[in-house]
Copies of this chain bind each other. A is one copy, B any other.
Amino acid sequence: MNRQGETVLFKNGPGIEHTYSIVGQKEGQGPLGQYFHELYPSAKAGEKTWEMEEAEMNELALQGVLHSGGLDKEDIDLLIGGDLINQIAPTNFAARTLQRPYLGVFGACSTLGVAFMVACMFLDGFYGNRAMVSTSSHYHTAERQYRTPLEYGDQYPAYKQWTVTGSGAFLLTREARVVIRSITMGTVVDYDLKDTNNLGGAMAPSAAQVIKTHLHDLNRGMNYYDQIYTGDLGSFGLEMLKDLLEQDGYTNHGHVKDCGAQLYDPEQKAGSGGSGCAASAVVLAASLFQEIAQGTVQKLLLVPTGALINQTLSMQGESIPAIAHAVHLERMEG
């Protein structure tokens, strides 16, 4: 069996060969600005609506990664992706343009983890040679859908996060420099939080649980990994995660960071940091992938985190279930 405990092991070396990241203006002005591959020119640059703008960014990221690999879309055996918008509409529209076999996945902001799991099984099982993964999010589409339209001018609590405008895309093969060795898929965790502005708080327990399961399954300590990056807990959620890890004796958490919390400077007024399907995707595609490929980081545990919030159910008084998946990335030597 290719598993240990709940953790799935990949034997045939599926991994990430090329990445591409495209972000909005605000993200481009943040601390990671220099690492992104492309800056999306401006709000509603070429599209009529925010939703089609997100679809265009998703498509540009996919085209960008194809170009990096010197490939045509016909070279791709499977496209996997998702986003935050109802029915993952932007990804569906990007897939319409790509015209390749397509599987849509949804795990809110943990979607990147779901997509990597599906892509790795596809490659590891020799069902194809090349898979592409993309996820996207967009500040304007997400705020309108999950909370209120921006024009209403709702107040912004300090613990609220800022949905990242952008998209990250990945080309996965069995001959990649950065391999995915194992994935621990999470279970749904619900701490009965109901504040739709506090998604970092809702997600922190799911991140803690999947990290502990992963380390326990593989009999590893926190230091096995050079870096552990959660997806989009934000700075408040990250503190909660560290508290939860400490409660179970995982005190050595200095190298636990959060993709979303890296994306904006304090003066950019982005609450407790970035969130959205694009948070982990653009940070991995831009800076983390390079760090692994160049050897600055040898082993990375990426933990995309998702708050499975639905506006109808929130308004009906239901709490916010959350899920996270732990993806073990490693530099292939030689």
Q: Are B107 and A104 within 8 A (Cβ)?
A: yes
A87, A104, A185, A310: most-surrounded residue (chain B CB, <10 A): A87
A77, A86, A128: most-surrounded residue (chain B CB, <10 A): A86
Ranked nearest first, the 9 interchain pairs of A and B with the lowest CB-CB distance are: A101-B185, A89-B310, A96-B188, A121-B121, A86-B86, A92-B308, A125-B125, A104-B106, A87-B310
Q: Are B102 and A88 within 8 A (Cβ)?
A: no
Pairs A–B under 8 Å by Cβ, sample size 8: A6-B101, A82-B106, A87-B308, A89-B308, A93-B318, A93-B321, A125-B125, A145-B312
- Given contact pairs A103-B107, A321-B96, A86 touches B185 in the complex (Cβ within 8 A): no
Pick from B49, B114, B122, B188: contact of A121, CB under 8 Å: B122
A78 to B187, CA, bound (A): 9
Q: Are A101 and B186 within 8 A (Cβ)?
A: yes
* A309 contacts across to B, CB distance below 8 A: 87
Q: Are A104 and B105 within 8 A (Cβ)?
A: yes
Q: Which residue of B lies closest to A323 (CB)?
A: B102
Taking the closest CB of chain B, its distance from the CB of A75, in whole angstroms, is 13
| Additional A-B contact list (6), CB under 8 Å, known A92-B323, A103-B107, A121-B125 | A1-B126, A78-B185, A85-B312, A95-B323, A103-B114, A145-B312
A9 to B128, CA, bound (A): 11
Query: Does A124 make an interface contact (CB < 8 A)?
Result: yes
Query: Does A313 make an interface contact (CB < 8 A)?
Result: yes
A93 to B322, CA, bound (A): 10
Q: Among residues 293 to 334 in chain A, which have CB atoms less than 8 Å away from a CB atom of chain B? A: 308-313, 316, 318, 321, 323
* A323 contacts across to B, CB distance below 8 A: 92, 95, 102
Count of A interface residues, CB-CB < 8 Å: 60
A214 to B91, CA, bound (A): 24
Q: Which residue of B lies closest to A12 (CB)?
A: B125
Q: Are A52 and B117 within 8 A (Cβ)?
A: no
Pick from B85, B107, B124: contact of A310, CB under 8 Å: B85
- Given contact pairs A89-B310, A104-B105, A114-B104, A125 touches B124 in the complex (Cβ within 8 A): yes
Q: Are A102 and B190 within 8 A (Cβ)?
A: no
A309 to B96, CA, bound (A): 13
Indicate with 1 or 0, residue by residue over A157-193, a CB within 8 angstroms of chain B CB atoms: 0000000000000000000000000001111101000
* A308 contacts across to B, CB distance below 8 A: 87, 89, 92, 104
Taking the closest CB of chain B, its distance from the CB of A113, in whole angstroms, is 9
A10 to B281, CA, bound (A): 31
- Given contact pairs A100-B187, A118-B103, A313 touches B51 in the complex (Cβ within 8 A): yes
Taking the closest CB of chain B, its distance from the CB of A88, in whole angstroms, is 5
